[in-house]
Amino acid sequence: MERRLLEGGGEALLGDFRIVLASAAAAVLVGIVLVPTGQRLFARAIGHFQRHRSTGKLILRSATPAGLRTVREEVSLPARGHLAALAKPRGVSWGVLLANVLAQGLLTVGVVASLYAGYLAPEFRVTASQLSAVINGLATILLFALIDPQLSVMTDDVVEGRIEESLFRRTIVWISFSRLAGTILAQAVLLPAAILIAWIAVHV
């Protein structure tokens, strides 16, 4: 940041931040691919914990040859049927999905936008760097008010047998893709968010 201020490389700095956001989107995509593996591993880990009731034993087990073999056996990539299942009922409204897209986009861009705002308003850059909550706060409200309650109630419904597990899985897939869309949206939100934070740092 300080070097960019001295050299005047604002466009290069913005490009650097866009690379950071692109890497975040790539990480979310990798996470989506690993969802089936994660589900299988968590199921095995929970089963082991229910039998032994010891976190220490679970950790030690994961480091043994047998534990590593279990990890290798549970590696699973998404099947083609998972994509075909997206044509079936989602289990969650478009409104919730769009709210998640917006929330994830804001969460992704908040800190990065506050840093770039410090470049836009260099005399207030310390203040600007502390104002990521201006962006992240709205995202937190969206998650708390719209998204988390929906998933919590749906989880209870699955446990109590009121909805099918397959529907819940499709919902998780939709939520995951909406998160990916949010991290991609962060590219468009970066500059407006940085300008807003810079304005607040200067005028408030």
Per-residue DSSP letters for 133-151? HHHHHHHHHHIIIIIHHHH
Distance CA 99, CA 93 (A): 10
109 — pLDDT class (breaks 50, 70, 90) = very high
CA distances from 109 to 62, 114, 117 (A): 35, 8, 12
107 — pLDDT class (breaks 50, 70, 90) = very high
* CB-based contact 201:124 (threshold 8 Å): yes
* CB-based contact 117:195 (threshold 8 Å): yes
90 — pLDDT class (breaks 50, 70, 90) = confident
Average pLDDT over residues 65-78: 81
1 — pLDDT class (breaks 50, 70, 90) = low
Average pLDDT over residues 112-134: 91
pLDDT at residue number 187: 96
pLDDT at 101 over 80: yes
pTM of the model: 0.82
Distance of CA 38 to the CA centre of its chain: 15
Share of the chain above pLDDT 70, in %: 92
- Report the mean per-residue pLDDT for the chain: 86
169 — pLDDT class (breaks 50, 70, 90) = confident
pLDDT at 184 over 70: yes
Average pLDDT over residues 111-125: 92
For residues 57 and 3, which has the higher predicted lDDT (pLDDT)? 57
pLDDT at residue number 10: 64
pLDDT at residue number 155: 86
pLDDT at residue number 132: 92
Average pLDDT over residues 165-174: 84
* CB-based contact 89:167 (threshold 8 Å): yes
